[in-house]
């Protein structure tokens, strides 16, 4: 589909500067903005702030008295078991 837009000169100049800075054609930049503005299949890309808010909401679901994992529990050595060695040939 081809769409022709009549943009104010200042706005067009800003798009050109941004596209040049990113090293992409202006049309590609405008398409990227449209994909963000108009979700496809009812999906849209979350902003960093929205992702952080969602993760905070998930963290709030954890009980306050849950202790953090120890360094030993999260170490690389604790991930592998002796059975991992058995699978090597």
Residue 37 to residue 44: CA distance in whole angstroms:
8
Would the pLDDT of 89 be above 60? no
For residue 73, what pLDDT is reported? 83
SS3 81: coil
Angle between helices 9-22 and 26-37 (to 10 degrees): 100
Domain residue spans of the chain = 1-62
Query: With contact defined as beta carbons under 8 Å apart, do 11 and 17 qualify?
Result: no
Residues near 35 by beta carbon (within 8 Å), at least 6 away in sequence = 45
Summarize the confidence of residues 58-74 as an average pLDDT: 84
């Amino acid at each position: 589909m081809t769409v022709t837009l009549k943009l104010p000169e200042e706005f067009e100049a800003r798009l050109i500067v941004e596209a040049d800075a990113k090293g992409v054609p202006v049309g590609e930049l405008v398409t990227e903005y449209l994909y963000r503005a108009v979700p496809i299949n009812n999906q849209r890309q979350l902003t960093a702030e929205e992702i952080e808010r969602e993760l905070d909401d998930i963290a709030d679901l954890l009980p306050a008295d849950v202790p953090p994992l120890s360094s030993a529990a999260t170490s690389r050595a604790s991930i592998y078991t002796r059975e991992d060695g058995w699978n090597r040939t």
